[in-house]
Structure 1
């Protein structure tokens, strides 16, 4: 099953509380240090955490996405496959492009218990008029946005306006971080997992 979605599982000690399915940004893959760190934290908390490659990345090791349609279907396939591996809640999300696709899948009927979106790409850098928020009001899952205050894909104020389109949303601000969410002062995985668990409860 993991082979079908090019997934890598981080397994907890004992029976999993639930499952987490996370995917990568447009230029990355399932092995990005951020995904590895976040999945490690989820497993430490007792969850089965799977990081997986989107369909375009399964086809070729480098290069940008070539069309969101196949990738969107790949998100649905992967989240459902991961959900079938456990008896418990399911959390889905991803970084940048992968998070945006997961949010689109949630808006179109995928039903994770919580969405966790890292560096949501509100618009291309320097082009705030090209906002990518039209589907957000259709999301019913509680949603966590983990976002750097120096992210060129959207300011915190822009993110607050976008998050307000979702009935239940929380923002985890990472001071000084850019799109990669790198921080020497804050433990990003711990903060993101804490926020998702708060919304789950």
Structure 2
């Protein structure tokens, strides 16, 4: 299995976070790169990786759909196994949207301390009946979901109604969309929401480092 990774090392690191990308943009996207830098500044080393279909997209320049979810899960688990021996601090996993969802599907079986998701895709936009929450109801390991209040994949009002496991905490970003971006009229900036997302991530990871 071929792996494509990017490490953003932290000085005096206290934890390591493996981050998977969303469906349409890989590990080098602005969001992924920005989040990695911000977290590294907070003593969390970030390892980003591309799923196989994204590696092919990068090589060919042609868009491809993601592999089926079971293949994405298998690749994420293999990625963890490949990195485990080189990681000396508590290991967490997570990701943006689709990548984050995959991390939650493997969380209970993976040798990791917890997961952080930025923009969980609770359902496809416009299809609130097609929920992707069944496994979240019985999750036992710690999970932090950082969600925009008006995310079309799951708004604050919608998420409040889901019967999620008590091991899950949700943090809502003011007026944020699926990319965590607020509207200008809100008076909140994207940088504000990113700073809140980083703060929530650091607080969550520090709380569960010694679990």
Question: Aligning the two structures, in what range does the TM-score lie when normalised by the shorter sequence?
Answer: 0.7 to 0.9
Query: What is the aligned partner in structure 2 of residue 187 from structure 1?
Result: 192
Query: What is the aligned partner in structure 2 of residue 78 from structure 1?
Result: 79
Rounded to whole Å, the distance in 1 between the matches of 2:83 and 2:65 is: 25
The 8 Å contact of residues 173 and 197 in structure 2, kept in 1 or not, is answered as no
Structure 2: gaps (5+ residues): 183-188
Summarize the alignment of residues 2-17 of structure 1 with structure 2, pairs less than 5 Å apart. 4-14=2-12, 16-17=13-14
TM-score (norm 1): 0.87
SS for the counterpart of 1:60 is helix
The 8 Å contact of residues 173 and 196 in structure 2, kept in 1 or not, is answered as no
Provide the aligned C-alpha RMSD in A. 2.0
TM-score (norm 2): 0.84
Query: What is the aligned partner in structure 2 of residue 20 from structure 1?
Result: 17
SS for the counterpart of 1:5 is coil
Moved over 4 A (4+): none
Query: What is the aligned partner in structure 1 of residue 165 from structure 2?
Result: 166
Rounded to whole Å, the distance in 2 between the matches of 1:169 and 1:151 is: 18
Structure 1: gaps (5+ residues): none
Query: What is the aligned partner in structure 2 of residue 128 from structure 1?
Result: 128
The 8 Å contact of residues 19 and 82 in structure 1, kept in 2 or not, is answered as no
Query: What is the aligned partner in structure 2 of residue 112 from structure 1?
Result: 112
Q: Does 1:59 align with 2:56?
A: yes
Relative to structure 1, the CA distance from residue 182 to residue 123 in structure 2 (aligned partners, 3 Å threshold; closer, same or farther) is same
Q: Does 1:30 align with 2:35?
A: no
Aligned residues: 196
The 8 Å contact of residues 19 and 83 in structure 1, kept in 2 or not, is answered as no
